[in-house]
Structures are given as structure tokens and as C-alpha cells.
Amino acid sequence: MTTATLIYTTTVQAPNSQADVAAAMDSGSIPLDSSFLATLGAVFVSDATATSGTTAVTRTVVYTLTAAFLAAFPTVAAQKSVFFNYFKYTLASALVSDVVATDPEIV
């Protein structure tokens, strides 16, 4: 089974607390629409928000890639290109904060 893992991180800025930013970044506060990805064959698996250190908040979204997706995007580079920055601007706009998207991990 091939999966795509998308990781988005923001740094907490005063006067906000890490807990407040984590709650604001959570899937309950900012739902991400995966319907387009589903039409391509990327099946939603999980969406989790966590804190790290004293100022980082990270949201990790995971998809399973179907045979149809892998046939349409046969190389890892092509697979990554579908996901690169996919939700970055949705999160940044909702949080009114800079959000860093790591290179999508395909395994």
C-alpha cells in the first residue's frame, strides 16, 4: 500500500498560546476538503494535529494512493506534485499565520 503524508507546521506568535493555535489548526476548526483528491484516487486516512517543543504546531494528513492514482501519476515526483502545498494556503489563511508545508512523503 502506498501512502502520501502531508505535514504542515506553524510557529506560535505572542500573544497566542500553543494550545490556542493547536485548537485553531485542528480539523474541527479548519476542515480540509479532500473531495478533489478522492476523484484522483487518493483516499483520506487520517488528520492529526500535534504540538512540538514550546512554539510549533503541526498538522499531519495521510492518504492511501489507489492503483488508479499510481497509474495516473507513475513517478514519485509526479505523485508529490499533486500534494505539494495542497492545503498550505487554506491553513495559512484561516490561521492568519505563516504555514510551512514539508515535501510530501510518499511511501
- Whether 39 maps to a domain, the answer reads yes
- Number of structural domains (the chain) is 1
Q: Would you say residue 42 has pLDDT above 90?
A: yes
- Whether 104 maps to a domain, the answer reads no
pLDDT digits 0-9 by tens, 60-103: 999 999 999 999 999 999 999 999 999 999 999 999 899 999 99
- Whether 102 maps to a domain, the answer reads no
Residue 14's pLDDT band (boundaries 50, 70, 90)?
confident
- Whether 106 maps to a domain, the answer reads no
Percent of the chain at pLDDT > 70 equals 100
CATH code of residue 38: 3.30.70
- Please tell me whether the overall predicted TM-score, pTM, comes out greater than 0.85 for this model: yes
Which residues does 43 contact at the CB level (< 8 Å), separation at least 6? 63, 64, 65, 66
Average pLDDT, the chain: 95
- Whether 107 maps to a domain, the answer reads no
Residue 7, domain extent:
2-96
- Residues 48, 46, 36, CA angle at the centre, nearest 5°? 115
